[in-house]
């Protein structure tokens, strides 16, 4: 057989060795693709589970926060009820009597003690310097007996709970 014919015969018939190599390469690629798909599925499943766990955590902490707030409110109300009971009793007494005045004084003392129990502090005293973070100036007067920007009178007391201003004091400021 001439040389050209041999080459044509070789080219015309697929060589078994080349076909096997291609199949092995294809098989390796298929295995690699299957492995990557499996890994992707596992990662996707892990992501979904983590997202669900986080959502459950968020909902649980929100419920716990609401529960703690409700317990705190109930505790405050429980401590305020005796004051309310005494106000009801005072409402049934003649306002002109000495017992009425004493009853109101006792209620004020009781409420002041309760306020101290919760750490609620007053923020305004006549003669102190005006602080716009704590006080709300509703009147301004000229009076030489007071210094510059000094509280002349507390019209409505303000309160702080720790560092938080619960209500600013309404004050009359001098000069």
Chunked into runs of 10 residues, the chain (175 residues) has average pLDDT values of 54 59 82 95 97 97 95 92 91 90 92 92 94 96 91 96 95 93
Tell me what pLDDT residue 52 has: 97
Tell me what pLDDT residue 70 has: 94
Domain match, 89 and 138 both: no
Strand 164-167 versus strand 159-161 pairing type: antiparallel
**Which residues lie closer than 8 Å to 128 by C-beta, 6 or more apart?**
150, 151
Question: Model-level pTM greater than 0.85?
Answer: no
How far, CA to CA in Å, does 34 sit from each of 26, 38, 45? Answer: 12, 6, 16
172, β-bridge pairs = 139, 153
Domain match, 25 and 111 both: yes
Kindly state whether residue 6 falls inside one of the protein's structural domains: no
Kindly state whether residue 3 falls inside one of the protein's structural domains: no
Nearest to 125 by CA among 96, 146, 109, 94: 146
Q: How many CA atoms lie within 13 A of 19 on its CB side?
A: 5
Tell me what pLDDT residue 19 has: 74
Domain match, 42 and 105 both: yes
73: containing domain:
15-118
């Amino acid at each position: 057989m001439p040389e050209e014919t041999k080459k044509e015969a070789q080219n015309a018939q697929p060589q078994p060795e080349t076909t096997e190599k291609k199949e092995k390469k294809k098989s390796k690629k298929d295995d690699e693709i299957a492995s990557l798909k499996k890994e992707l599925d596992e990662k996707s499943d892990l992501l979904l589970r983590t997202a669900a766990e986080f959502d459950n955590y968020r909902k649980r902490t929100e419920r716990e926060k609401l529960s703690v707030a409700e317990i705190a409110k109930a505790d405050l109300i429980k401590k305020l009820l005796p004051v309310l009971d005494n106000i009801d009793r005072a409402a049934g007494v003649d306002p002109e009597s000495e017992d009425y005045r004493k009853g109101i004084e006792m209620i004020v003392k009781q409420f002041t003690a309760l306020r101290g129990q919760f750490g609620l502090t007053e923020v305004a005293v006549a003669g102190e310097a005006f602080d716009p973070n704590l006080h709300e100036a509703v009147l301004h007067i000229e009076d030489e007996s007071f210094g510059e920007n000094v509280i002349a009178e507390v019209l409505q007391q303000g309160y702080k709970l720790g560092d938080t201003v619960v209500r600013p004091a309404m004050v009359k400021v001098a000069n």
